[in-house]
Every structure is written in structure tokens, then in C-alpha cells.
Amino acid sequence: MSTMRYAACAAIAACLLGGAGTVAAADFQVASVSALYTKDAKADPVLGTGTDNEHLSTYQFEYFGGFKYGDVYVDAEVFHGKNVGGAGAGSFAGNSSFQQLMVFNPRLSLGKLSGRDLSFGPISDISLIARYERASYADFRSYNHGISFNFKVPGFAYFESGILRRNTNFYHGKWLWRSVLMSSALPVGSQKFHFNLLSLVNGTGANGTEVFLRPELLWELDDKGAWQLGLRAEMHRYKVNGQNYSRHSPSLMLKWTM
């Protein structure tokens, strides 16, 4: 799928979800655009985000909305650099300066569906979850379904974790442990900071247990926190041909929340 088609799909998804929110009286809606740059984009045979000179620009659109019976998350990312994914990683085994990723992640709240309060201990709700991934690199596709839990954790505005059954076009019947954390504003003097984390840990078969961590530390640039500047780090570990692979890629990040 071309870069323009990915961008178009992201825009269409945002419009459809925004329209659905108006009709379904969304509990909340938030969309953001981020730009990132790193000089440490080493070759990554699984994700295909490495470049020949390890310089990589990333452009990301995110949407998250809560509705009557659950919530939905959409993520569209475009990676740009010199031969992203390596030689022959483009269409028809050619080279490409772009790779793309799209994620669609809907959930159905069992508490909202049943009309009951399912909270107990630190758990505030239980949801059925699906996660669909589509990447241009290696024509990757994955279909994940399972259960997730929302937690009440002091200092965090959002804390969710779940276990899913994972099928891809490379392997079937594996598992995915997915967690998303977003802190409340952290005041430091007169400034405010935010800590976010995406954690994906899954079984792969040939590549062993794959661990992907994406922490962010962002500083609010304006009074409303619409503009944030900071650092995102990506840590990725798995096995390639029986050998351990590890990558740590820090990126400068600018985020605008619409």
C-alpha cells in the first residue's frame, strides 16, 4: 500500500470515527499528530524500520475515542529514510524510502454492555479486545483477539493491559501481552510532564519471545498541553536464526493534540 493510501485511510478513519462519535455521543475523543527523528535506526529484520545510514523520520497519527459500549484506537505511522527496511524491502523487491504501519484496536466493555459495575480491587473494567495490524514491510498482517483490563493506578490517567491470541501471515496460535500506560500531568516546578508507555510482548515461534517497549517522556509547551516536546525510546528484542537481537532507538518527538 502506498504512503498516500495509508495517509488517506488514516484521514478517512478519523472522519468516520469522529462522525460516529457525534451520533453515538462519545464519552471522549482525542486525536494527535507526532513527528519524530532518530539517528539510531539500526536494521530491524522484524519491523523493517532500519535505514542504510540509521537516520529515520517517523510521522504518526493517533485517534482514541470512548463510546457507549467501549472504545477504539487507530494508529497510522509512516517511516521515511534511506532504504527503509533494507535493500529490496520495497514493492516488487525494489528499494523504498518509505514504510507504513496501520493499527486498528477496538474494545467492547463488559461493564457497559451488561450495565453492571465490574470493578474489583484495582480493576475498574473488563473488555473484549481486538487488534488488527497491517504493515507494508514484508506485507505483514496480524489478527489478535482477547481480553483486557482497565486498572485504577494512582498517578495514571489511563492504565490498561490484556492478553490476546495472535495470528499473523507468518505464524498462528501464539499470544500477545499488550499494555498501554498514560500518566497524569507530572508537575515539576512550574512545568508539566507526561510519561506514556506502549508494551507489546508476544510469542513468535522461530523468533522466540518478542519484546517491544516504547516509553515516552513529554514536556508541555503551552498552557493547555496541546503541544508537547520530548523523547521517545524504542526497545526491541527477539531472536534471529537462534541469535539474540536487540535494538535501542531514542527519538526526538514533537506532538500536537488536536
Which of 3-17, 138-152, 171-185, 206-220 is predicted least confidently?
A: 3-17
Question: How confident is the model at residue 25, as a pLDDT?
Answer: 59
Structure letter (DSSP) for residue 91? G
Question: How confident is the model at residue 96, as a pLDDT?
Answer: 87
Q: Are 74 and 95 in contact (CB under 8 A)?
A: no
Task: Name the pLDDT band for 86 (thresholds 50, 70, 90).
Answer: confident
Question: Rounded CA gap, 110 and 112, in Å?
Answer: 6
Listed by start position, the domains of the chain span 3-257
Question: Does pLDDT of 146 surpass 50?
Answer: yes
Mean pLDDT of the 217-244 span? 96
Mean pLDDT of the 52-70 span? 96
Question: Does pLDDT of 153 surpass 60?
Answer: yes
Task: Name the pLDDT band for 205 (thresholds 50, 70, 90).
Answer: confident
Question: Does pLDDT of 26 surpass 80?
Answer: no
Question: How confident is the model at residue 23, as a pLDDT?
Answer: 42
Phi, psi of 110 (to 5 degrees): -70, -30
Q: How far is CA 75 from the centre of its chain?
A: 6
* Grid coordinates belonging to 166: 495472535
* Grid coordinates belonging to 196: 506514556
pLDDT in tens, 93-138: 568 899 999 999 999 999 999 999 999 999 999 999 999 999 999 9
Question: Rounded CA gap, 52 and 38, in Å?
Answer: 13
| Burial class of 37 by CB neighbour count within 10 A (0 to 12, 13 to 18, 19+) | middle
Contacts of 47 (CB under 8 A, 6+ apart): 135, 137, 212, 236
Alpha carbon dihedral 88, 91, 97, 100, in 10-degree steps, equals: -120
Question: Greater confidence, 120 or 23?
Answer: 120
Nearest to 76 by CA among 22, 132, 27: 132
Q: CA 15, 20, 22, 23 torsion: positive or negative?
A: positive
Question: How confident is the model at residue 206, as a pLDDT?
Answer: 84
| Burial class of 17 by CB neighbour count within 10 A (0 to 12, 13 to 18, 19+) | buried
* Grid coordinates belonging to 49: 524500520
Q: Given 3.40.50.300, 2.40.230.20, 2.40.400.10, 1.20.210.10, which CATH number is that of 3-257?
A: 2.40.230.20
Nearest to 96 by CA among 106, 84, 79, 107: 84
| The one-letter amino acid at 19 | G
Percent of the chain exceeding pLDDT 70 equals: 87
Question: How confident is the model at residue 27, as a pLDDT?
Answer: 85
Question: Does pLDDT of 1 surpass 70?
Answer: no
Question: How confident is the model at residue 88, as a pLDDT?
Answer: 59
Question: Does pLDDT of 19 surpass 50?
Answer: no
Question: How confident is the model at residue 21, as a pLDDT?
Answer: 44
